[in-house]
Amino acid sequence: MKKIVFFNRSLMSGGIEKCLETLMPYLNKEYEIEVVYSHDDKLDPHIVEILSKYAKITHLQDNVIKCDICVFCYMYFDYEQIMNQIVAKDYWAWIHSRPRELENCLLDNLDFIQKVSKFICVSNEIKNNLNIEKEGIVIHNFINENIQELASTENPFQNSSEEELKLVIVSRLSNGKGFERVVKLVEALERKETPYSLKIIGKGRQKEQEIRQWLGKYESVKFEGYQDNPYCYVKNADYLVLLSDYESWGNVITEAKALGVPCLVTDFPSAKEQIENEQNGIIVSRQLEIYDDIIEKLVEKKKELKNNLEGFHYHNEIEKWEELLNKYREQEVEMER
């Protein structure tokens, strides 16, 4: 059985870890999977428990790990040191990073580019801005195939009135996730006296206390912490809210659309790959200061946007991973002849 190692700096409740959680059930039947992390201070026991169902979890430390394929999920590290410790027949990069920052990092490490055979990009925006000699391959991130079933288990908004605007945020509570903008959104809701209920799903070491101080004073804002099943919150909301500075690919946007829920998002580049403005969601400028007009639009368009999402189906692109892995196997067979 071929062995695949996924290397990430941390194992926290972030987008990369969520991607690993949804990808691994497809792979662990045919491959031995090991997830390797380097920073012991960035470890969430709950995430480790989830990933342990499908993979061996290893702290890199001074270990030397051998495998067939090493997939780098995190790009900013000492390449030479890690490649000396994770010895693979082939190296792939699974890119969730900002293209400009990544480009600067890679150009300082040209040897790394030569050693990596596959650059897997989670959005066209990343691929189109990956200014290196090797071409990127776009594979959008997976979502849980049981999402509809999980979303139907309960209704966390059952005590909300019909006229309330039901909003949900599913996000790590950290820098870059746009909670300064969420404050402006809530201030506009309060100023316009719009009935609303905002539930915030997630946690975070960086900024959680500060975000709670900002928003905890509002009676209609509830912090729900980390939830194993955020889908029931999303399904019963009027909008998913994601006001980030940047997202390589908003998994929660795809999940919301699969559940028939429109999104309020900022204009980070990949948002335009996922949202048609005022068709299945609303895109606002990251520079927007006053949200009063947006509140009116959210109320006015919520039924129309939900109706536009009826029949939406998201296809997990497992066949693209399978194609890459099959090609690797074929190359191995050729080399052994």
In tens digits, what is the pLDDT along the chain, a chain of 337 residues?
Answer: 899 999 998 898 778 888 899 899 989 889 999 999 988 777 888 889 999 999 999 999 888 999 999 999 977 777 788 899 999 999 999 998 776 667 666 666 777 788 899 999 999 988 888 777 788 899 999 898 899 999 999 999 999 999 999 999 999 999 999 999 999 999 999 999 999 999 999 988 779 999 999 999 999 999 999 998 999 999 999 999 999 999 999 999 999 999 999 999 999 999 999 999 999 999 999 999 999 999 999 999 999 999 999 989 898 888 999 999 999 988 887 777 6
The string of pLDDT tens digits covering residues 283-331 is 999 999 999 999 999 999 999 999 999 989 898 888 999 999 999 988 8
61: left (phi over 0), alpha (psi -120 to 50) or beta: left
Q: What is the residue-wise DSSP string for 21-33?
A: HHHHHHHTTTSEE
* Calpha distance 219→215 (Å, rounded): 9
Does the global pTM surpass 0.85? yes
Domains of the chain: 3-142+316-336 (3.40.50), 147-308 (3.40.50.2000)
Long-range contacts of 156-163 (CB under 8 A, 24+ apart): 156/199, 156/224, 156/232, 156/233, 156/236, 157/197, 157/199, 157/233, 157/236, 157/237, 158/236, 160/197, 161/195, 163/195
Angle, helices 251-258 vs 15-27, to 10°: value is: 60
Calculated CA dihedral for residues 27, 229, 248, 214, nearest 10 degrees: -150
Element (H, E) at 46: helix 45-51
Element (H, E) at 124: helix 124-128
* Calpha distance 218→110 (Å, rounded): 51
